[in-house]
Amino acid sequence: MRNEATRKVYEYWLHIKGDRPAPLRSEIDPAALRRLLPYLFILTPGAEGVLEFRLAGTRICEIFGRELRGAAFTGLWDENPNPAEIARDVMRREQPAILDGWTRNGETAIGFEVLLLPLSSGEQIDRLLGSLLPQASPAPPVTRPLSGLSLHGWNFLETDREAASDPTDDPGPARALLRFLSTRLLDNGAT
């Protein structure tokens, strides 16, 4: 993860999930992520199983120049069905993933991290908490709505209980090293 905010969302998810495959949707506390809410979204299966935005943060909607609630997740991507398949795999395997998406804004290339985290309704894992954050910090300005992202790689994330301590703890150097080592990326063959 290149963006510290992406890491904070992931650590929060690890913290509330505990030893379970995924936390309940009702356990997500918007106040705990209030500074990141504009970059967060929730996906749920809609008609015919198509993954749709149940909620989309204001900054994500601004970046793409439209309200995303009810829109298909595939609509963010340049004619590539893989992101939706990856999202379904996150739910089936009960394992989070991170996707690298790139787009152009005029002459500027912009990279985004898309984090996908499984959530449960109580009966099954049937939704995803996600974030869409720029890879670079500070983010390059978006002068006009983006048309779509192209997928340049992705990985499942290994969920290690050791990384699930309280995300509000002050991370010293040893804690930061432990977090880095415990958040290993599993190579899935994607480049």
61 within domain boundaries: yes
Q: 102 has which bridge partners?
A: 111, 150
191 within domain boundaries: no
Q: How many CB atoms lie within 10 A of CB 121?
A: 13
CATH number of the domain within which 177 lies = 3.30.450.20
pLDDT of residue 83: 94
CA dihedral sign, ordered 172, 174, 179, 184: positive
165 within domain boundaries: yes
Split into its structural domains, the chain has a count of: 1
Using one digit for the tens of pLDDT, what is the confidence trace for 59-80?
Answer: 999 999 999 999 999 999 987 7
Instruction: Enumerate residues 6+ apart whose C-beta is below 8 A from 2.
Output: 111, 113, 135, 136
Residue 3: name the closest of 90, 129, 98, 82 by CA: 98
Using one digit for the tens of pLDDT, what is the confidence trace for 154-190?
Answer: 999 988 644 444 444 444 443 343 344 333 333 333 3
Residue 67 domain boundaries:
4-186
Please give the average per-residue pLDDT across 124-130, as a whole number.
96
136 within domain boundaries: yes
The mean-pLDDT minimum among 43-47, 64-68, 117-121, 137-141 falls in 137-141
44 within domain boundaries: yes
72 within domain boundaries: yes
Residue 46 has pLDDT above 60, yes or no: yes
16 within domain boundaries: yes
Instruction: Enumerate residues 6+ apart whose C-beta is below 8 A from 30.
Output: 37
Instruction: Enumerate residues 6+ apart whose C-beta is below 8 A from 9.
Output: 33, 36, 40, 115, 117, 129, 131
As a whole number of Å, the end-to-end CA separation of the chain is 15
Please give the average per-residue pLDDT across 142-149, as a whole number.
83
pTM above 0.85, yes or no: no
**Under a CB-based contact definition with an 8 Å cutoff, are residues 96 and 118 in contact?**
yes
